[in-house]
Amino acid sequence: MEQLITILKLKKKYPLGDTVIEALKGIDLKIYKGDFTAIVGASGSGKSTLLNLIGTIDDPDDGEVYFKDINIFKLNENEKAKFRNEKIGFIFQSFNLIPVLNVLENVKIPLLLNKKLSEQQRTDKAIESLEEVGLKDFVYSTPNKLSGGQRQRVAIARALVNNPEFIIADEPTANLDSKTTMNVIDLMLKLNKEKGVTFLFSTHDEKLMDRVSKIIHIKDGLIL
């Protein structure tokens, strides 16, 4: 199985008043292509910090993260932005949709950096992504007209629109009811199995933990 992400001795500290919080204390981890993996731990254990570092949203104090053979923290800011846009899709618990844009426009956002695509090609790719999550009939709706589950499906469509190899999902079912949670998990599993998309979650949700192929426990900045 192809090794997709390699994390070596990853450390991160944050100042908090007069003290320093060690969010990560030297994480070693491997993620393989096609994994459907959950990172599990209490609030403050380091889950979100780890995801933010893997996604190059933040920089570590020490350690390395490789995507295949690329040391992502050796990239400059423009290269990191290109890497995030082309290789990674992000799903957040608060959906992070832009309320003044309709569903189609929200999903097209990651495509705007690709100058090789025409506006029609961007539209076609966004509609195709929305079809995959069952929202073709809602392309011109605004987020406030959608249910929580539909909004999360829009977020998933946006994460998929650039055909990323890897999706980072930070508490993706935290704001959903039980039935909607199961529907969203089913959708992500389908994308994992049929399209081979690699998923890495942080979660407290037992329903999601029951469905993943691998669980990684983190406590006080260390993997147990």
- Provide the Cα torsion 206, 203, 178, 212; round to 10°: -60
pLDDT in tens, the chain (224 residues): 789 999 999 999 998 888 998 999 999 999 999 999 999 988 888 999 999 999 999 999 999 999 999 999 999 999 999 899 889 999 987 888 999 999 999 999 999 888 889 999 999 999 999 998 899 999 999 999 999 989 989 999 999 999 898 999 988 888 888 888 888 888 888 889 988 889 998 888 787 788 888 999 999 999 98
Helix ranges, the chain (H): 47-54, 77-87, 103-108, 119-132, 148-160, 178-195, 206-209
- According to DSSP, the residues that pair with 37 across neighbouring strands are 200, 214
Range of the domain at 89: 3-223
CA–CA dist 83, 91 (Å, integer): 16
Structure tokens at 157: 């469509």
pLDDT of residue 22: 92
- pTM, two decimals, is 0.87
CA–CA dist 136, 124 (Å, integer): 11
pLDDT of residue 59: 93
Yes or no: say if 30 and 3 are a contact pair by the CB < 8 Å rule.
Answer: yes
The total number of residues shown for the chain amounts to 224
CA–CA dist 169, 93 (Å, integer): 8
CATH classification at residue 24: 3.40.50.300
3-16, strands of its sheet edge to edge: 19-32, 3-16, 62-67, 70-71
Total count of domains within the chain: 1
pLDDT of residue 205: 77
CA distances from 180 to 11, 54, 75, 138, 190 (A): 36, 28, 38, 17, 15
Contacts of 215 (CB under 8 A, 6+ apart): 37, 38, 40, 209
pLDDT of residue 224: 87
CA distances from 152 to 105, 125, 129 (A): 15, 18, 13
pLDDT of residue 31: 95
Q: Strand, coil or helix: what is 63? A: strand
